Structures are given as C-alpha cells and as structure tokens.
Amino acid sequence: MIRWTHRAAALAFSSSLLALAAPAAPAAKDAARQAPVRAVRDSGDVAALLDAFPLGKPLPQLPSCDDVRVGGGKDVSAYCSDALESHGWTRSLGVPAAKRPELMDGPQAVLLVDQGNIAGLFVPTRGVDTEQRVYQALADRYGKPVQEAKVALPLKSGKTVDSLRVRWAANQTVVTMYAIPDEPQNGTVEFLWAPRAGAVLEQMRAEVDPDAPKPASGVAASAPAAAGKPAGASPAPQR
C-alpha cells in the first residue's frame, strides 16, 4: 500500500476516469426509488463515512493529523484533517481504525471543501481486488447504477484484468467507483455533492491550470482533477 500521506495527495490530484455525462434529475430519482432496503449494511461500505461527514454540510473542526498519529505515523487515533493545497479546497481526512470502513484502503481519504462546506469525498479502495464487494455495498445503498461499464486494465505482470466503472446518482449525490488504470489494485470511490462540486472543481482548474483541456461534461467526470501537484509532502495544519 502506498504511504498514506502520498496516497491522499494522489487521490486529490488525480482525475476521474469516467467520460460520462452527469445523469439528469429523473434518473437520480429513479435510482433512489430502486434502492433496496437492507436491515444490515456491509461493514465495509465506504459510503458510511457520509454519515459522519455529510455532503453539503459544514466540515467540523478537526485536529491536525500530525497531532493524532499512531503506529509510527502510519495511522491516526481520531478523525483529523489537514490542507493539501494552500487554496484550501482539498483537505485530507484521517479516519481512525475504529471508524474506518473495511473496504477503505488506508487511513486517509480526501475532502473537497467549498466555503467550509463538504462538497466531495474521495475514498481509496483496493481497486479490482475488492471492487465486487464495493459495488454491492454501494448498490445496496443507492440502488441500480445510472451508468456502468467494464474495461480491461493492464497489470504489472503484463496480464489484463476486467474492471468496473460505475456511477450512481441519488439525493443530490453523484457516486463514481473505478480502479486506477496504471495501478488497478488501487481504486477510488467519489462522492460529489451535485449542487456545488462541479462549480468548485471548475474554479480550481481555472486558477491552477487555465490552459488544461476540460474533461467530459458532468460533475463526476471532473472529479478532483483540479490541480497539478501537491504543495508539499507535509500538509499544512488546520487553523
């Protein structure tokens, strides 16, 4: 597994891989209606983090991860957050083991922040190794996907593996899961708040790299593409 601070930076500055348009509102409503009722959810469901950090709501005051690291710096003992860039739109989210979904890879996710409110959450997964279970947990919560595709990705061994790229839309949230093309055993689940995430990402992109080509239309198609490289290896502490 990639060292956790580097993994968070990679999440924050990677681009979404689904060149798919954002679904229209009726599709989102249909997906929500189709969501089955589950008495017991998968303990690995990465969407459970939204219960603690709901989209569209203020990001609570959290300690710097430097202050709560344990295990030789490889883990954290409490929720924590640090800025990943000076503009403050992207922040790390340290998740302690007791609160961490089983399917989350490592202790750190990434938040997209809009004027103090949470506009997006990006959760690392183990890619193709766990994608079937990740998919099922998300389908249990959000219902039938609005878009789904299967692609062949190369492994370091030279072989290829089929991987899912899937999108759901419900309750003003666009959810996208995919494996990283050059590292299929690493993956991401994106949760974007439809009313604001797209505008924030466009603003970030315009300021950081105004000449960069725009991605396909749609909120999740732009996912945290915004900005070239992290400002430094050590995140700035939250003030």
pLDDT in tens, 44-72: 899 999 999 999 999 999 999 999 999 99
Q: State the Cα–Cα distance between residues 213 and 173, nearest whole angstrom.
A: 25
> With 0-12 CB in 10 A as exposed, 13-18 as middle and 19+ as buried, what is 25?
exposed
Residue 165 predicted with pLDDT over 70:
yes
Domain definitions of the chain by residue range: 4-233
What would the two tokens of residue 215 be? 């991605």
In this structure, of 24-33, 81-90, 171-180, 183-192, the range with the lowest mean pLDDT score is: 24-33
Q: State the Cα–Cα distance between residues 130 and 121, nearest whole angstrom.
A: 19
Taking only the tens place, the pLDDT of each residue in 126-158 is 999 999 999 999 999 999 999 999 999 988 888
Read off the amino acid at residue 58.
P
The answer for residues whose C-beta is within 8 angstroms of residue 19's C-beta and 6 or more apart is 215, 216, 221
pLDDT of 158 reads 84
**Average pLDDT over the chain, rounded to whole?**
79
3-state secondary structure of 47: helix
